[in-house]
């Protein structure tokens, strides 16, 4: 009787633990995605309204000197490799709270189209997993960044896996702290492998095309 009672209690405990784990996984993979989708919708509305009022070009010297509020929208990123409907508002900031809303721009790194290194980080598995397929990017793939008045098309040049502490990938010239930047670069960072923070996957790119926005005009990379 004692053994039966013990086994019954153990079984109930294991079942409860299993349910709790399943609920946690569902929260991480499903509910957080809904939360991010809601925030992305809000950010899209906010950035479009800002652009209508003439803000957010990030081109003039005055724009560059203005601090960007943490959590606000910086630009819209599109990656054809991820699907024709894939589009994410990049937020300012890379803290955990910022990355819950979408891919985050490292404060202090270059802004879209500027000479230097435009560094963007994003989740691979939770909170909408914007960079879930980042490992699929190949040299030549397009990363299109939209600001109020300009389309910037970066082209992937290479990728690698590094330590989580490898901050040198965020330098204006990646891996060379003392070098003076001469090109407009982009660097995407995310955890690696999926469901782990043991390493970081890094994708490097270089600005290839700059196109002023006009009605009906989109970059070649977005024309199907």
At 18-74, the pLDDT tens digits run 443 444 444 455 567 889 999 999 999 999 999 998 777 665 555 666 788 999 999
The pLDDT of residue 3 is 58
Give the angle subtended at the CA of 119 by the CAs of 55 and 28, to the nearest 5°.
95
Catalytic residue among 78, 123, 124, 192: 123
What pLDDT is attached to residue 6?
54
* Domain 2-222 CATH (choose: 2.40.260.10, 2.60.120.260, 3.40.50.720, 1.10.760.10): 2.40.260.10
Least confident residue range of 21-25, 106-110, 136-140, 175-179: 21-25
The answer to whether residues 143 and 152 touch, using CB atoms and an 8 Å cutoff, is no
Nearest 5°: the CA angle 35, 36, 40 is: 125
123 in active site: yes
**CB neighbours of residue 145 within 10 Å:** 24
Query: Going by C-beta distance under 8 Å and a sequence separation of 6 or more, which residues neighbour residue 23?
Result: none
Output the pLDDT for position 198.
94
11 vs 203 pLDDT, higher one: 203
Tell me which of 105, 124, 191, 192 is the catalytic residue. Answer: 191
Structure tokens at 181: 């930047």
Q: What is the pLDDT of residue 102?
A: 96
Higher pLDDT, 139 or 67: 139
Q: What pLDDT, on the 0 to 100 scale, is given for residue 97? A: 93
Q: Provide the pLDDT for residue 18.
A: 47
Token code pair at residue 147: 């600001």
Average pLDDT over residues 154-167: 97
Q: What is the pLDDT of residue 58?
A: 63
Quick check: helix, strand or coil at residue 217?
strand
53 among known catalytic residues: no
In this predicted structure, the answer to whether residue 15 has a pLDDT above a threshold of 80 is no
Cβ atoms 109, 119 nearer than 8 A = yes
- pLDDT on residue 62: 59
> What percentage of the chain exceeds 70 in pLDDT?
82
**pLDDT confidence bin for 13, thresholds 50/70/90:** low
Summarised one tens digit per residue, pLDDT across range 177-195 is: 999 999 999 999 999 999 8
Q: pLDDT at position 55, please? A: 73
């Amino acid at each position: 009787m004692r053994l039966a009672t013990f086994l019954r209690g153990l079984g109930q405990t294991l079942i409860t633990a299993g349910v709790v784990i399943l609920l946690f996984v569902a929260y991480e993979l499903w509910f957080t995605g809904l939360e991010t989708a809601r925030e992305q919708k809000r950010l899209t509305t906010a950035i479009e309204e800002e652009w209508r009022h003439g803000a957010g070009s990030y081109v003039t010297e005055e724009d560059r000197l203005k601090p960007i509020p943490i959590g606000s929208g910086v630009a819209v990123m599109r990656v054809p490799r991820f699907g024709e409907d894939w589009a994410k508002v990049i937020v300012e900031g890379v803290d955990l709270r910022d990355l819950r809303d979408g891919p985050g721009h490292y404060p202090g790194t270059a802004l879209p189209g500027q000479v230097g290194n435009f560094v963007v980080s994003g989740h691979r598995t939770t909170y909408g997993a914007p960079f879930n397929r980042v490992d699929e990017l190949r040299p030549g793939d397009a990363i299109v960044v939209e600001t109020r008045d300009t389309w910037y098309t970066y082209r992937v040049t290479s990728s690698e896996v590094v330590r989580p502490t490898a901050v040198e990938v965020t330098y204006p010239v990646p891996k060379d702290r003392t070098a003076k930047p001469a090109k407009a670069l982009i660097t995407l960072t995310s955890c690696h492998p999926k469901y782990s923070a043991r390493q970081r996957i890094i994708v490097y790119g270089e600005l290839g095309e700059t196109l002023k926005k006009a009605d009906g005009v989109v970059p070649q990379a977005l024309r199907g």
